[in-house]
Amino acid sequence: MFSRQQIIQPVALDINQIVSNTGKMLRRLIKENIGLDVILEPNLDLVSADPGQIEQVILNLVVNARDALPKGGKLTIQTRNVRMENDFGQAGASTLPGRFVLLEVTDTGTGMDEETQTHIFEPFFTTKAVGKGTGLGLATVYGIVKQNNGRIEVKSMVGRGSSFKVYLPAVKHAVLTRTSAKYTGSPNFSEETILVAEDAKPLRDLICEVLSGYGCTVLTACNVEEALQIGRGRKDTIDLLLTDVVMPGMDGTALANEIRSLHPETKVLYMTGHSGTFIRADMLNQDVSLIRKPFTPGELGRKIRKMLPGKLGESSRAGACPKENAAAQRESGA
């Protein structure tokens, strides 16, 4: 997010809806020894924010809380309408003076000492083992909160746990309309089969968690050979191939061609983290698309839902976001 320009689309957003939509996936991310409580304020005020960014905030805070609960415990996500006397960073005419939406993530985990707390929002600050932490989670959260004229507060005690409070300015309903229809949240799939080829294990595991959480059947391959083996061995449909563009051995586009010669029905979604992309714009069409890393679970789900609308009889939705298609095309040509 720091290193690339992101297309951010603030809309009037009901944070409750995002929490609910990600809930199923969050439960899958945390172990059974962690109790998850979700407490949502009814009639929560709207905020102006990008849904993907809010998902990212929730996800980063929840993953941190999970990591702080190696022996289990309790994790709580709560939303509330709050009033504050001093209008820190009010965004302007569209916001309601003094009114904020609070999103709070609390855990009963390890907690942090004061010295640690002074550094947690710094990029690359991590107390986790090499390969476990990047130190970018809270820096990202901080950036998103600031960008949306909000504030973040942390309270923590060693051995007792931590609480992160994110305050975002409430917006007038009249200024922006609710986008529940447009923001469809995490989709549900009905056993669509997705072949995932990704050499980075943590990402591969996370994608599998997310997609099976959505109800997909996931076949995984850690390299091109494995993906080809699965393709050759499978008689049933593979609805979609989700593959890295750059992998050791053979690139993702060659893999996609091989798989499609075996399974002509298979759609292809490339993942790429490289700005100088290896995908030519003219290779992208209805059946072949691109998603840029890093993406949120919701973004991935919606993207796939758009490519595979048929099974739920939602084909009308396929063409519902011409803007996003155009953006993707533009991006891919960049």
Ligand X SMILES: Nc1ncnc2c1ncn2[C@@H]1O[C@H](COP(=O)(O)OP(=O)(O)O)[C@@H](O)[C@H]1O
What is the binding site for ligand X (CB under 6 A)?
60, 64-65, 68, 107, 109-112, 116, 120, 125-128, 133-139, 162
Distance CA 44, CA 96 (A): 13
What is the nearest approach in angstroms of ligand X to the Cβ of residue 164?
A: 7
CB 191 → ligand X: shortest distance, Å? 34
Output the smallest distance, CB 98 to Mg ion, in A: 32
Shortest distance in whole angstroms from residue 211 CB to Mg ion: 22
Position of minimal CB gap to Mg ion: 137
65 binds, among Mg ion, ligand X, none (CB under 5 to 8 A by kind): ligand X
3-state secondary structure of 264: coil
For the CB of residue 135, give the shortest distance to Mg ion in the complex, in Å.
8
Angle at 332 between CA 331 and CA 334, to 5 degrees: 65
| Segment interacting with Mg ion (CB under 5 A) among 48-56, 57-65, 105-113, 324-332 | 57-65
Instruction: Please choose which of ligand X, Mg ion, none residue 110 contacts, taking the beta carbon within 5 to 8 angstroms, the exact cut-off set by kind.
Output: ligand X
Q: What share of the chain is helix, strand, coil (3-state, %, to 5)?
A: 35, 25, 40
Would you say 141 or 256 has its CB closer to Mg ion? Answer: 141
Residue from 207, 216, 169, 208 nearest 189 by CA: 216
Q: Decide whether 10 or 273 has the Cβ nearer to ligand X.
A: 273
CA dihedral 231, 236, 241, 243 (to 10 degrees): -40
Select from 17, 48, 56, 64 the one that contacts Mg ion (CB under 5 A).
Answer: 64
Indicate the burial class of 41 (C-beta count within 10 angstroms; 0-12, 13-18, 19 or more): middle
| Residue 198, contacted partner among ligand X, Mg ion, none, CB below 5-8 A by kind | none
Please report whether residue 162 would count as binding Mg ion according to CB under 5 A: no
The answer to whether 194 and 266 have CB atoms below 8 angstroms apart is: no
* 109 Cβ contact partners less than 8 Å away, ≥ 6 residues apart: 65, 67, 68, 69, 70, 73, 161, 162
